[in-house]
């Protein structure tokens, strides 16, 4: 498993803490920034991670910002990306099982610090169920094509 990892200033400290967890889980990660707690614009880092996922250079992405929402919104602008904000183990599992989400967004300011490793483990320990959900994911992908053709 290869992932792209990114954060803004609000998520920097949590991103750094996640690196040892990824190593423990045998997940190869590519840190695309940011490199400090100095203020930056989260869409820049969401785009870097999302493009790596969309181009198939990595299997999945992980983004960390204050709430997770800004990163997810930004990443979802890149065709082929299905970014989900997860604030619990259950939301992480459901995003993978039902939506085949390929980018995890976490809120460093809105998620208890001790829950973040549990969320990450749930995410990477859960596979897409396919079945009835595959049709729905295909409809999500078709939305991208519809928008492009208009």
Rounded to whole angstroms, how far apart are CA atoms 114 and 99?
A: 25
Rounded to whole angstroms, how far apart are CA atoms 102 and 80?
A: 9
- Neighbour-count burial for 15-32, b at 16+ CB within 10 Å, e otherwise: beebeeebeeeebebebb
Rounded to whole angstroms, how far apart are CA atoms 89 and 134?
A: 22
Catalytic residue among 9, 55, 65, 133: 65
Catalytic residue among 9, 55, 98, 133: 98
Active-site residue, 98 included: yes
Active-site residue, 9 included: no
**Which residues does the annotation mark as catalytic?**
65, 98
């Amino acid at each position: 498993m290869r992932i792209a990892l990114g954060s803004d200033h609000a998520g920097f400290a949590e991103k750094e803490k996640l690196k040892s967890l990824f190593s423990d889980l045998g997940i190869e990660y590519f840190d695309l920034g940011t490199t400090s707690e100095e203020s930056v614009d989260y869409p820049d880092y969401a785009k870097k991670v999302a493009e790596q996922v969309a181009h198939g250079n990595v299997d999945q992405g992980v983004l960390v910002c204050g709430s997770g929402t800004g990163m997810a919104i930004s990443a979802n602008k890149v065709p082929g990306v299905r970014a989900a904000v997860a604030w619990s183990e259950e939301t992480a599992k459901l995003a993978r099982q039902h939506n085949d989400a390929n980018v995890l967004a976490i809120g460093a300011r809105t998620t208890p610090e001790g829950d973040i490793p549990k969320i990450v483990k749930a995410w990477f320990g859960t596979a897409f169920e396919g079945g009835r959900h595959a049709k729905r994911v295909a409809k999500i992908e078709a939305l991208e094509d519809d928008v492009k053709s208009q």
